[in-house]
Structure 1
Amino acid sequence: MSRFFGEIKQAGYVVDDIEAAMDHWSRVLGVGPFFYKERVPIENYQYRGTSHTPHNSVALANSGPLQIELIQTRNDAPSMYRDFRQAGHRGLQHVAYWTQDYDADLARLIAEGFEPVMSGEVGERGRFVYFDTEFHPGTVIELSEVAGPKGRMFDMIRAASENWNGRDPVRPFPDLAKV
């Protein structure tokens, strides 16, 4: 467990082909089911202080308590994912810590010297921030707010994995407004 953040809750992998990655994780590794969103509705997205409109596809599943996130960038909007790919990397790009008290944890981490690089929101109370911590591939740290609908969706994804029998390995993302 991290003395700064608590438990790692998510491992985020940048992939070239999200459909092939979901197939590999579910069929070969037995992890699933994946909840897939072809275009994540990111609001207030910022990368290094500038607004952009990313088109990212995301698939989420759990392996026990650890959430696996697969990410494919679909446009050339500046992002840490794009930088990772342009550096020739694929695979683990970040680890995420979840918080119910985003504002307090963000202020605490900035006070400790962590520098925000990429941020945005996915639904109500679904803010996220990535810190400038990529000293080598796979070490970026994300702080993700999991209060409200996003937190309930993450709980539903974890519950779906608990007794998953391998059927329906790819499912649509639930509507955050209805979760």
Structure 2
Amino acid sequence: MSRFFGEIRQAGYVVRDIEAAMDHWSRVLGVGPWFYNERVPIEDYRYRGERYEVHNSVALANSGDLQVELIQTRNDAPSMYRDFLAAGHTGLQHNAYWTTSFDADLERLLKQGFTVAMSGNVGKNGRFVYFDTEQHPGTVIELSEIAGPKGKLFDMIREASLNWDGRDAVRPFPDLGTL
């Protein structure tokens, strides 16, 4: 447990082949089921202050209380994911902390010296920021708002994992507007 952020709730892995990664995690590691979105609808995406249109595929599953996120970039839009791949890396790229008090937590962290490098919004009350690693080498830290439908999605994914029997290893993301 971090005294600044709370529990790490998600481990985000950048991969080159998301389908192969879901297969490995479900078949070899027994983690699943995976909820897959071939094109995550990210609004107001910014990287280092500039707006871009990104095309990222994402798959989410839980192992206990920890959510595992698999991310594959599908275009050349600037992002921390693209930087990670360009540096020759694949694998764990970020740890995420979840909040229902996004504005207050973000303000507190900015006052502590954290700098936002990447940000966006997924659904109502689904903002996220990734902090720059300039001041702290290592894994990127994400602060993710779960006050809206994204939080309900995350709860549903965790529930699906509790007694998962290995069937239907890959499932579609539900429409956030219906949650």
TM-score normalised by L of structure 1 = 0.98
Task: Give the percent of matched residue pairs that are identical in Structure 1 and Structure 2.
Answer: 76
Aligned-partner SS, 1:3: coil
Match of 1:5 in 2: 5
Once the two structures are superposed, residues 12-69 of structure 1 have per-residue CA deviations (whole angstroms, 9 ceiling, x without a partner) of 0000000000000000000000000000000000000000001000000000000000
CA distance in 1, matches of 2:116, 2:49: 9
Task: List aligned pairs for 1:49-64, cutoff 5 A.
Answer: 49-64=49-64
Q: How far apart in 1 are the matches of 2:161 and 2:112? A: 36
Residue equivalent to 2:92: 92
One-letter identity of the residue aligned with 2:171 = R
Q: Which residue of 2 aligns with 1:102?
A: 102
Deviation at 1:148, TM superposition (A): 1.2
Q: CA RMSD in A?
A: 0.8
Corresponding residue for 1:176? 176
Alpha-carbon distance in structure 1 between the residues aligned to 2:162 and 2:9: 16
The residue number in structure 2 matching 1:158 is 158
Query: Partners of 1:3 and 1:132 in 2: how far apart?
Result: 20
SS of the aligned residue for 2:104 comes to: helix
Take 2:3 and 2:156, find their aligned partners in 1: how far apart are those partners? 28
Partner Cα separation in structure 2 for residue 136 and residue 84 of structure 1: 13
* Counterparts of residues 1-179 of structure 1 (less than 5 Å): 1-133=1-133, 135-137=136-138, 139-179=139-179
CA distance in 2, matches of 1:174, 1:31: 19
Q: Which amino acid aligns with 1:174?
A: P
Task: Give the Cα separation in 1 of the matches to 2:92 and 2:3.
Answer: 21
Give the residue type in structure 2 aligned to 1:65.
D
- The residue identity in structure 2 corresponding to 1:30 is G
1:100-129 deviation digits (Å, cap 9, x = unpaired):
000000000000000000000000000000
| Stretches of structure 2 lacking an aligned partner (at least 5 in a row) | none
TM-score normalised by length of structure 2: 0.98
How far has the Cα of 1:136 moved from its partner? 4.4
Separation in 2 of the partners of 1:7 and 1:133? 20
Deviation at 1:133, TM superposition (A): 2.1
Q: Distance in 2 between matches of 1:157 and 1:32?
A: 9
